Amino acid sequence: MRYLTAGESHGPQLTTILEGVPSNLPLKAEDINEDLARRQKGYGRGRRMQIETDEVEILSGVRHASTLGSPITLVVENNDWKHWTKIMGIEEISEEEKEEVKRKITRPRPGHADLIGGMKYGHRDLRNVLERSSARETTVRVAAGAVAKKILSELGINVASHVLEIGGVRANPPQYKNLNELKDRTNESPVRCFDQSVEQEMMSAIDSAKENGDSIGGIVEVIIEGLPPGVGSYVQYDRKLDSKIAAAIVSINAFKGVEFGIGFEAARLPGSKVHDEILWNEEEGYTRGSNNLGGLEGGMTTGMPLVVRGVMKPIPTLYKPLQSVDIDTKEPFSASIERSDSCAVPAASVVAEAVVAWEVANAIVEQFGHDRMDLIKENIDRLKSYAGEF
Ligand SMILES: Cc1cc2nc3c(=O)[nH]c(=O)nc-3n(C[C@H](O)[C@H](O)[C@H](O)COP(=O)(O)O)c2cc1C
Ligand SMILES: C=C(O[C@@H]1CC(C(=O)O)=C[C@@H](OP(=O)(O)O)[C@H]1O)C(=O)O
């Protein structure tokens, strides 16, 4: 499967076309809208989220709530577009009109794509960069991810995400009976954190960043349960599932790091404390004594929960801006201030869930016969019973 996205942050709409989604997958707009709404929530978001009510329109590839196997087109409209029709219009406008519109950006924000994007594409109005580099694009990535999650859920595979850290405030590792408990609890939390004891501290950290005209980042975790062993492969670098997931995580705007299982902690521990001992019993077949490696060995799923974390840097737009240079005059100036979030870590956890779900669903679809859901299901069931007896 593959997908592309298109659309500017303040343009009329965002679009994604998903290719290779198997046929006969039950799919309704509400399956996608639920995740779009989750992405819009989260303490620390700016005013834009009050303007938008993201809802998907399915324009192709689905008939009577079931996929056809043909390309699926998903569209989400930008409510904000009505305030930007002149500034973001498609038609040609004169230089005088451009001046009138007066939303030209010439003072690049450190940490955003403004300066280098302008240099690279030859845009002297940095709005031409900002509009596409904006994380508004993650809306349709979440829509694509919701379709991937639907594939996974049909195969008995459950995907969840939660926030582990915001602005240095670290949650205790979540202790949950099952993944649905984690999902329910984090969906209720304003910071999408399972650990209620640190929620208030996280919100206070966001408040003080906002008061100081600053921004903060954090760490999110995605967990996937119910995977068969052997998804991905060790035989070629570009078939290793962990490499694909790592790329997907750092493709999210502002994500700068990724770790699996105990992650960077493994650098400080001996092998005897890191590797997960192999066990076998009649009922479950092969299991592990621990899951320090986050459910991946040799670029393949082990059958244990897949655990991946992503690190989000602080938002680049600062209401107390850092120093920059005006690209027209070359004079030093404060960077431009655009309406902005102070912290988008909770929202980003929903994006992380979507991009990881896409990579895992894609690997499964490719590996288990990619045209129709019923055959994929049969192939996975066959592999699961073989794996138990192996
Ligand atoms: C959900 C989400 C919301 C974001 N909101 C903002 C924002 O309001 N203002 C901003 O400057 N950056 C925001 N960012 C981060 C920028 O989009 C990102 O830093 C920028 O595209 C440059 O890419 P890079 O940080 O990956 O280098 C957001 C990121 C995410 C994932
Ligand atoms: C629009 C979204 O996030 C935007 C991401 C973003 C950025 O620079 O990445 C900047 C802000 O855009 P605006 O200036 O329109 O408020 C955020 O609101 C969204 O998540 O849907």
**Ligand in nearest proximity to the CA of 83:** 2
Residue-wise burial string across 16-37, b where 16 or more C-beta atoms lie within 10 A, e elsewhere: bbbebbbebbebebebbbebbe
Q: For position 99, what pLDDT does the model report?
A: 77
Residue 30 is given by DSSP the state H
Using CA positions, which residue lies closest to atom 22 of ligand 1? Answer: 112
Q: For position 370, what pLDDT does the model report?
A: 78
Q: For position 339, what pLDDT does the model report?
A: 87
Distance 33 CA to ligand 1 centre (A): 22
Distance 252 CA to ligand 1 centre (A): 8
Distance 321 CA to ligand 2 centre (A): 17
Q: For position 390, what pLDDT does the model report?
A: 92
Q: Which residues contribute to the annotated binding site?
A: 39, 45, 132-134, 253-254, 298, 313-317, 339
Using CA positions, which residue lies closest to atom 14 of ligand 2? Answer: 339
- DSSP codes joined into one string, 208-238: HHHHTT----EEEEEEEESPPTT-B-SSSGG
**Ligand in nearest proximity to the CA of 336:** 1
Q: For position 226, what pLDDT does the model report?
A: 97
- Residue 279: closest CA among 294, 269, 271, 291: 291
Q: For position 364, what pLDDT does the model report?
A: 98
Q: For position 93, what pLDDT does the model report?
A: 86
Give the ipTM. 0.98
pLDDT tens digits, 179-217:
999 999 999 999 999 999 999 999 999 999 999 999 999
Q: Look-up: residue for tokens 């929620």?
A: 199
Q: For position 215, what pLDDT does the model report?
A: 97
Helix (H) or strand (E) holding 351: helix 345-367
Choose one of 134, 216, 318 to mutate for the ligand 1 pocket test, by most ligand atoms within 8 angstroms of C-beta: 134
> What is 2-389's CATH number?
3.60.150.10
From first to last of the 390 residues of the chain, give the pLDDT tens digit.
999 999 999 999 999 999 999 999 999 999 999 999 999 999 999 999 999 999 999 999 999 999 999 999 999 999 999 999 989 999 988 888 877 777 789 999 999 999 999 999 999 999 999 999 999 999 999 999 999 999 999 999 999 999 999 999 999 999 999 999 999 999 999 999 999 999 999 999 999 999 999 999 999 999 999 999 999 999 999 999 999 999 999 999 999 999 999 999 999 999 999 999 999 999 889 999 999 999 999 999 999 999 999 999 999 999 999 999 999 999 999 998 888 999 999 999 999 999 999 999 999 999 998 799 999 999 999 998 899 889
Axis crossing angle, helix 138-154 with helix 345-367, rounded to the nearest 10: 50
Choose one of 48, 53, 103 to mutate for the ligand 2 pocket test, by most ligand atoms within 8 angstroms of C-beta: 48
Q: Which residues contribute to the annotated binding site for FMN?
A: 132-134, 253-254, 298, 313-317, 339
d(CA 373, CA 366): 12
Distance 8 CA to ligand 2 centre (A): 11
Q: Note the pTM of the prediction, 2 decimals.
A: 0.97
Distance 271 CA to ligand 1 centre (A): 37
Q: Report yes or no: 356 and 249 within 8 Å, Cβ to Cβ.
A: yes
Q: How far is CA 187 from CA 131, 180, 266, 305, in A?
A: 29, 10, 30, 20
Q: For position 302, what pLDDT does the model report?
A: 97
Helix (H) or strand (E) holding 376: helix 373-389
Task: Report residues whose beta carbon is within 6 angstroms of any ligand 1 atom.
Answer: 46, 111-113, 133-135, 138, 252-254, 315-317, 340-341, 344, 347-348, 351
Distance 327 CA to ligand 2 centre (A): 23
- Residue 261: closest CA among 300, 313, 222: 222
Task: Report residues whose beta carbon is within 6 angstroms of any ligand 2 atom.
Answer: 9, 46, 48, 134-136, 139, 253, 338-341
**Ligand in nearest proximity to the CA of 215:** 1
Measured from the Cα of 48, ligand 2's closest atom is: 16
Distance 341 CA to ligand 1 centre (A): 9
